[in-house]
Every structure is written in structure tokens, then in C-alpha cells.
Amino acid sequence: MTTSSIERVQRLPKDFALIALAIQAGVAVAGIGSQLIWSPYAEDMRRVYATAQTLVPMLSSAFVNWAFAALLTWCFARHTLDRRGPAGLARPGGARGIFGVVFLLLVLAQGYVLAPLVHQAALSYIQNTAGSMAAAGFVFALSSVLQLVLVALIAWFACWLALRRRSGGSAGGVDASAPAASSSSSRRAAIAWVVGVFFVCLQMLMSSLFQGWIGMQQAPGAGPLVLGWIVAPLVVLALTFWGAWMGAREAAQPRPLRAIAASALAFVLLQLVCIAIAIAWMLWVLRPGHVGNIVGPAVGLAVIYVVLMVMLTRSTVGWLYRRVQAAPAQ
């Protein structure tokens, strides 16, 4: 392979991510547009979508889902290139077209075949359980997790088909078996973006599951909705990006799956620590003779959550990437 060919192949992960983002957004916009224009209930749907209680969570969830698909696509493609090298691909020139077609077909199958089946199964389950809040919350949680799992499988399968291994022989010209060299700042930025975006996706998933279990007792105003669904994810992204950036200063390669593992580990540890702190605080409050308000401890827990978020992302990224320094492959 020539140097220019290798450079084009090294851009495949980024191009795949942009293609996945465009397809997800296009399919979603087309689906919503058809509901608002050609559906028999178009007028009612337009009134529903015009409210902040529907529009803000829908847009936030949509952007998170699109970012999740693009992130996993980039990670799977980069991981494959790091392991096989540009010279090990069967069809590097047509990889973008193969990925786009496969990803589009699978997204359409998910949206127009699997999603209606899951929806019908969920309604049947809720009806058989007398429509209890616990049953509805369980179905909501299960469908949210299933959606993310399907997105991950779609991204992996499309990347696997587009980046299949060369059946025999090797390309000549330039040694392309090793990952492309990159600057320290670009490596740290790649790791930080993966950690931050994946952490936000997990945070939003947990928030959606929590809302599904407790239900919406009252409709919040536009301000709290924007604060919870837009501002809070951006703050979490900034904090986790900062923590991962500090922890990735010794990383030799981005190793995207390591970054995902570090993000997931930091998220789980953060939830466990905060749950332990909350339980200890509740036991302290419920002790006999205790008198006090809950505002101060709640603010303190929020500050602890923010500090631990940065510290844990920094620690997990640094720990996992120090472990990989001595290993040639992920």
C-alpha cells in the first residue's frame, strides 16, 4: 500500500462515525417527520411535540443515542485497524460504502421491525400485570437497555463486515501493520472523548431508568428540563473529559476499548461510593434524637459526586493504560 492509501484507511474510523451519525439522525428525522405530517394523528402529535416536557427529553435522548452509535462505531473501527493494520483489510477502498449500506439496513430493521415487536410485547406485559407502575418501569428499563445493546451490535457488525481481514497475501509498498503514529495531545483527546461520551451515555441511561421506575408525578417547567437534560450532561462530559485527559498523559495508543472499560469502571465505582455515602447519611439522619435539614447534606453529596467523578475517571484511565503499556495487543 502507498502512503496516501494508508492515510485514507486511517481515516476510516472517523468516516464511519460520521456516517453512523448521519444515518441515525436521518432515520430519526424521517420517522418523526412522517408522524407529524402523514400520520392520521399528525395534529395530536404536533401538539405533543410542541411541549417542553416532550421536546427537551426527546432531543437530549436522541443526541445521546446518536453520539453513542458514533462513539462505538469509531471504537470498533479503530480497534480493528490497530489489530490488523491497513494492509490486512480485504476491501479498504469500498469500506465506507459497505459500512453505510449495512448500517442503514440494520438501523431500518431495528426501527421498523424490531422496535414495533418490542413495543407490542411491552404493552402485552403491562396489560397482563394490571398496568402497575413497577411493571411499566421494568419494561421501560428493559427496552432502554435493549436499544443500546442493539445499537452496539449494529455498529460492531457493520464495522466487522466493512473491515474484513484480507484472505491471503499482503500489500506491498509500506509497512502498515503497526498503528499510525499520533501526537500525545491527539491520543489524550481521543481517550478523553471516548471516556466522556460513554460516561454521559451511562449517566443518561441511569437517569432514564430512574424516571421509568418512579414515573412523572408532575410536569416540570422548561427551566428544570433544560437544566437536567441538557446542561447536566454537558457538565458531566466536561468533567469526565478533564479527568480522562489527566489520566491519559502516559498512554502510547488510544486503545478505544480500554477507554470504554475505564469509563464504565469509573461510573460503577462512582455509583457504589455515592450509594454507600447516601446510606450512611440516612442512618445518621434516622438515629434517635437527630434534628436537621437535608439541604446541606444534599449539596455536600453533589459536591462529592463531582469531585469523585473527576478523580475516578483520572484514576481508572491511568490504571488501565499503565497496564497496557507492557502488552502489545489489547
Q: How confident is the model at residue 109 (pLDDT cuts 50, 70, 90)?
A: very high
165 and 188 share one domain: no
175 and 187 share one domain: no
Any idea which of 158-172, 229-243, 259-273 has the lowest mean pLDDT?
A: 158-172
4 and 149 share one domain: yes
- Give the pLDDT confidence score for residue 189 in this predicted structure: 93
pLDDT at 215 over 90: no
Question: Where a domain ends, among 181, 214, 239?
Answer: 181
166 and 54 share one domain: yes
Burial of 277 (0-12, 13-18, 19+ CB in 10 A): middle
Question: Where a domain ends, among 181, 208, 225?
Answer: 181
266 and 313 share one domain: yes
- Give the pLDDT confidence score for residue 100 in this predicted structure: 96
pLDDT at 330 over 50: no
pTM, two decimal places:
0.86
116 and 189 share one domain: no
212 and 157 share one domain: no
Residue with grid cell 473491515, as numbered in its chain? 163
Q: Using alpha carbons, list the distances in angstroms from residue 148 to 65, 77, 237.
A: 8, 18, 19
Q: Using alpha carbons, list the distances in angstroms from residue 41 to 22, 29, 31, 59, 111.
A: 27, 17, 14, 21, 19
Question: Where a domain ends, among 164, 181, 198?
Answer: 181
135 and 11 share one domain: yes
Average pLDDT over residues 282-309: 78
Average pLDDT over residues 61-87: 89
**C-alpha span between 266 and 272 (Å, rounded):** 10
Any idea which of 22-31, 164-173, 227-236, 290-299 has the lowest mean pLDDT?
A: 164-173
247 and 125 share one domain: no
pLDDT at 246 over 80: yes
Pick 217 or 100 by higher pLDDT.
Answer: 100
What is the per-residue pLDDT across 145-194, written as a single tens digit (0 to 9) for each? 888 899 999 999 999 999 887 655 444 444 444 555 566 788 899 999 99
Give me the domain span that covers residue 171.
1-181
319 and 274 share one domain: yes
CB 177 within 8 A of CB 91: no
168 and 211 share one domain: no
207 and 139 share one domain: no
Number of domains in the chain: 2
- Give the pLDDT confidence score for residue 172 in this predicted structure: 46
* Phi/psi at 89 (5° precision): -90, 145
pLDDT at 239 over 80: yes
- Which regions of 145-304 does DSSP assign to beta strands (E)? none
What is the per-residue pLDDT across 124-133, written as a single tens digit (0 to 9) for each? 776 776 555 6
